[in-house]
């Protein structure tokens, strides 16, 4: 099925827009992974700061520290789940970007073939055109 140049150009514009959207999705997914990883690291630092000290403290402060450590551990577990989820989304976004790039390059190849076929057709038309007769002007 031969497509004309206008239709190929329109499809190429659409595929380029889709590719740019997928690239944007991929970059947002990568940023989300970085953000979730930073949050997980920050929670781990907070948990380390709440760790029991070697000083003698009242039982109330130890109970409070244990409570906060437990809450921070729950937050750390949730953050790890969010990191895994964000990494999975980033992988899907990267695959979607690769797929969009393949689609766009396929259209570009079709456009190149169409241009080559049009050039070949023009060459053949020039070859088949009737020869022009030269006007010979003899000295008068």
DSSP string, 25-45: HHHHHHHHHHHHHHHHHHHHH
pLDDT confidence of 78, banded at 50, 70, 90?
very high
pLDDT confidence of 66, banded at 50, 70, 90?
confident
Which residue would you say has higher pLDDT here, 25 or 126?
25
What's residue 56's pLDDT? 57
Q: Which of 108, 111, 140 is nearest to 4 (CA)?
A: 111
34-50 pLDDT, tens per residue? 999 999 999 888 888 87
pTM of the entire structure? 0.68
Please report, for the chain, the start and end positions of each structural domain, with discontinuous segments joined by +. Answer: 5-49+69-113
**CA 115 – CA 71 distance, rounded (Å):** 65
């Amino acid at each position: 099925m031969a497509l004309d140049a206008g239709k190929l150009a329109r499809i190429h514009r659409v595929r380029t827009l889709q590719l740019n959207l997928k690239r944007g999705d991929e970059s947002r997914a990568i940023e989300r992974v970085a953000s979730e990883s930073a949050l997980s690291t920050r929670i781990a630092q907070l948990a380390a700061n709440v760790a029991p000290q070697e000083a003698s403290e009242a039982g109330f402060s130890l109970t409070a520290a244990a409570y906060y450590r437990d809450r921070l551990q729950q937050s750390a577990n949730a953050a790890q789940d969010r990191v895994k989820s964000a990494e999975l989304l980033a992988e899907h976004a990267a695959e979607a970007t690769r797929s969009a790039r393949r689609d766009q390059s396929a259209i570009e190849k079709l456009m190149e073939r169409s241009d080559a076929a049009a050039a070949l057709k023009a060459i053949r038309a020039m070859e088949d055109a009737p020869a022009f007769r030269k006007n010979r002007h003899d000295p008068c």
